[in-house]
Structures are given as C-alpha cells and as structure tokens.
Structure 1
C-alpha cells in the first residue's frame, strides 16, 4: 500500500448535524487532496454506503466511521469508530439506543428557551435537521443565528446551550465500555475524539485514557480541528505514553460554521503510528 499522508477521518453530513450530503463532502475532501476519508456522523451509520460510493467516485480510499456520544465522569465524551462492519447488528442497535431520547431532550431544550422569550425553537431547529432522530444543540444554534438572536453559533452555545444556561439539558449517553465494545466487536478501531475539548482535570483525563485502553481502545485524535498547535504536541505525547495510534480529522460540519476545512490540517508527527496503518486491511 502506498503511503497515506492526507487522511481526514472525522467529519459530519446531513445524516447527523452537518449541512452537506456525503457526496458533497467527498468532493470537497478530494478537492483538498484527501487520500483517505471517513464520514463519522454522530451515533449513526446511515450514510456509510453513500460515502463509500462517493469516495470511490472521487478517487479516495475509505474507512467506515461514526462518532459515538458517551458519558464519562459526568461529561459527554466522543469516541470515533473507524474501519468497522457498518452492517454489524450489535453496533447498529447500540447506536439506535444512543439516538433514543434526543427528541425528548430537544423538547425540554425548547421549553427552557421559551422561558427566556425564544419561542418555537424546537420547530425552528427541525428545519435544519437532516435526520430527525439526531436533532442536537447544533440545530438549535443554527436556528438562533438564522432568527437573529445571536450572530454566530459559538455565541449561542455560550449564552444558551451550555451547562447552567436556559437551553441546556443533559443527556445520559452510553458508557465508555459500551462504545469501545460495539466498535471493536464490529471489527473496527475505537479512537478518543478531540481530547483537548473536555474539561477534565489531569487525573480525570488519565482515568479516561486508562479505562479506554483497558476496554480495547487503540487510538486518539492528535491533529484535529478542535486542537491548537500546542495541543497537537500534548496529545502526541499522550499517544506515546498510552501506546495509542494517532488519528487526524478536521471535524468539519459546514462551510458556514467550521473553522477547519476538510483535508487542510497539518500532517501527523512523523514519530507516531497512524491509525490507518493498523487499519490497512479495513481500507476500501
């Protein structure tokens, strides 16, 4: 297999909370020189066949992907799965259960926003949803920007959708063990997504990495659109410390509110093992 350098293994389509179709994402990734791509919609594998076909049409190699929401020490953490069998029944059922409850949570979020004068937020958010099972805070944020309540989505999160704010409603996700088990038993690799985003203490972060590794997790995102250049170095060191392979992904959602374009991140540091080397037999 020829050496892969420009891999983008984290992005989202209209199947979850992105704004582009899998086909449009594939064209965008290929146009930016991506050689290996994965679509990682939240708690969903419904776009995988389209993404694989689009990757082939655009001359890219492909790994199946998803991003699973879990709860760890009271916080929501994301685990990316790569290279699994997208038809695995246990994985699909686990994702279905994880998606369950999003609508009820969204209704509660809308009620909270109504109490501070923002009416019909649930209906407004639905206009931005490609998959009603996956209505999320991002869809509410887009509605509040469209309706002029805030200028950009980051302002919405800061003022309305984080803990202690009017539209925040916690969701009880799967466990870390659940997510890693679903992915690995379906033949894939579990990867900790954008670890710098979580507000863990050093001891809590050590616990996350330790438990993840103990359950069979094998990778961590080092170079991601959510990390600074300094954080690339921090998590490169963490990958070495825990014997984890390194992943790279933009976390692209939309041309309008994503800071990092598909395929434009710096390359992984040379002294790390890329996840795609371990997943070579799973690349399509």
Structure 2
C-alpha cells in the first residue's frame, strides 16, 4: 500500500488555510488523492464538513488535526488521525490551547508596531476565522498584502522567526497532553514534518523516545517541506523507533504552498504506511470511522 495516494496534512479556512473544506476536498479528488485528511491547527470545527464533502466525491476521509506542542523550548506539531471529533475532553484541551493563541497574536502585533508596522494585529485578525486562531500565517499574509514583503517566505525570514520583530514565544500543550488527547479520542498520533525542528541529535532522540513512550504511533516521512535526503532519514527513524510512516502535503493555499494536494512522491520502501490502520475499510471503499473496531490493534500489529 506504499503507492496509495494519501494526503494526510492540509489546512482550511477553519485555521490558516485559504480554501474551505469543500474546496480542498475537490482539489484532493482532482489531484488523484484516494485517502484525505483535513488537519487544521488546534481546531476540530470543520471535521464533519470535510468528511461530508469528501464522501460526496467518493473520496475516503479520516478525521485529522494538528496540535501545537512545546518541547525543549521548540514548537512541535503533532498530527492526530482517526479520532472522534466530538470527544469532549479533546475539544476542551484544544479550546484552552486556542485561547493562548489570541494572547500571543496581540503581543505579535505590538512587536511589529514597535518595528514600524502598525495595524498588523488588526490586519491578521481580519484574515483569521476568529481571534483564537490568529496565526503567524495570517500575519505573513497581511504583511505581503500591504507591501512589506514580496512573499510569505520573506516575512518569516525577516519578521516572524526567533530574534526578529514579530516573534513571540508561546507555551503550547505538552507532548504527553497532545498524544493523550488524540489517543483518548480513539485516534493515532504522528509527529509532523520532523526536519523543520531545530533539535540537536540528542534532543531529537528525546523527542521520538518520549513521543513513543506516551503512545505515539507514527511520523510524517514524506511531506511538502521534506527534501529527498530528509525523507530517507526519517524513514530510517521510523524503522528505528517502530513507528508507522505518514504522508501529507501541508497544503495551505494556492500559490503559497509548494506542494499541491496529491503530488507527493510515494513513501520509501521498507516503512509501514500509517493507512494500514484502515486497510480493511479502504479496500471496501469506505471512509474509516473514529474508533473503528480493530483499527488500533492493526496499528500495533503493523508497527
């Protein structure tokens, strides 16, 4: 099942994407995707809409989310798949996390104003779905639209990374909390785009070890921000830690994301694809349901 065109990482207007769940489902289907997941940041509100849109197009869907975590002072993202989007404990944890985003966004606006860019908070807020979901991406789009930078990449380089105006550190969920929220709701947790984190080898080993210890089951091996050597490296890491391998474009917006939905290369040989968890339902051309019997047992057997 390595060649299955699965795209298990993208964002809609419910967080920091520019397209609705329905528009994303259509793009995924047009791109040849067979298994899709919408993984908005710290938000589950669009999950039912995404599933309905996918299934109306004959596209298999699995629930998804991207949870913000602080680990050794670095922001790490943990993907969750196949959980119950109506789980109350999970929803409560994410609501508390989103409240912290609002405070950080106001501080980012103050920092940019002090650097000579007034109105950034208000501009980013106008581009976000609600005050609790204002992200760095919304600030970046505001700065591009107002001529401060040529593109989003330049914004992150000049303004929004550590040591630059507009960067504000924040304490997100702990790694254990994120994994427990996901698994407690019947899902499977995966480390997103691991090559993006600025960890030493020892720190990265600690991340994977602790993640596995909390019940994490997978790592995103093939993704929109990984180069071929990084894909190879994290395939080896997946094997080292007995983790399944996931695949996702991390698509946010046309013209902004370098990898369109459905265009990723296959997973490298040797790894166990995450979607073996849902193999029985996929073969029957039906979307996996949250907490479906046998799903977690299949994951344990495959890893």
TM over 0.5: yes
Name the counterpart of 2:123: 124
Contact 2:128/2:134, CA 8 A, preserved across alignment: yes
- Structure 2 residue 55 is the aligned partner of structure 1 residue 50: no
Match of 2:251 in 1: 252
Q: Which runs of 5+ in 1 are unaligned?
A: none
Instruction: Write out per-residue CA displacement over residues 122-178 of structure 1, whole angstroms, 9 at most, x where no aligned residue.
Output: 111122112332101100000000000000011111111111111111111000000
Per-residue Cα deviation, 1:69-118 (whole angstroms, up to 9, x for no partner)? 00000000000000001111111111111111211111111111111110
1:78 corresponds in structure 2 to: 77
Instruction: Answer whether contact 2:123 2:142 (CA < 8 A) is retained.
Output: yes
Identify the residue that residue 149 of structure 1 maps to in structure 2: 148
Which deviates more, 128-137 or 45-54?
A: 128-137
Is residue 2:227 matched to residue 1:228?
yes
Look up the match of 2:96.
97
Does the aligned pair in 2 maintain the 1:145–1:151 contact within 8 Å? yes
Which shifted more, 216-225 or 116-125?
A: 116-125
Q: Would the aligned equivalents of 1:43 and 1:95 in 2 still touch at CA under 8 Å?
A: yes
Moved over 4 A (4+): none
Q: 1:277 — aligned with what? A: 276
2:58 alignment partner in structure 1: 59
In structure 1, the partner of 2:133 is 134
| Deviation larger for 122-131 or 166-175 | 122-131
Name 1:240's counterpart in structure 2. Answer: 239
C-alpha displacement of 1:269: 1.7
Any conservation in 2 of the 1:8–1:263 contact (CA below 8 Å)?
yes
May I ask how many residue pairs the two structures share in their alignment?
A: 283
Contact 1:14 1:131 (C-alpha < 8 Å) held by counterparts: no
Deviations along 1:195-227, one digit per CA (max 9) or x if unpaired, are 000010000000000000000000000000010
- Contact conserved, 1:70 with 1:78, CA < 8 A, in 2? yes
Task: Provide the C-alpha distance between the structure 2 equivalents of 1:131 and 1:270, rounded to a whole number of angstroms.
Answer: 42
Structure 1 residue 31: Cα displacement: 0.1
Q: Secondary structure at the match of 1:143?
A: helix
Taking structure 1 as the reference length, the TM-score comes to 0.97
Compute the TM-score of the two structures, normalised by the length of structure 2: 0.91
Q: Please name the residue that 1:164 is paired with.
A: 163
Structure 1 position 3, deviation (Å) = 8.4
**Counterparts of 1:3 and 1:273, CA distance in 2:** 8
Two-structure CA RMSD over aligned residues (Å) = 1.3
Distance (Å, rounded) in 2 between the aligned partners of 1:29 and 1:17: 18
Q: In 2, distance between residues paired with 1:201 and 1:99?
A: 29
Rounded Cα–Cα distance in structure 2 between residues aligned with 1:6 and 1:132: 35
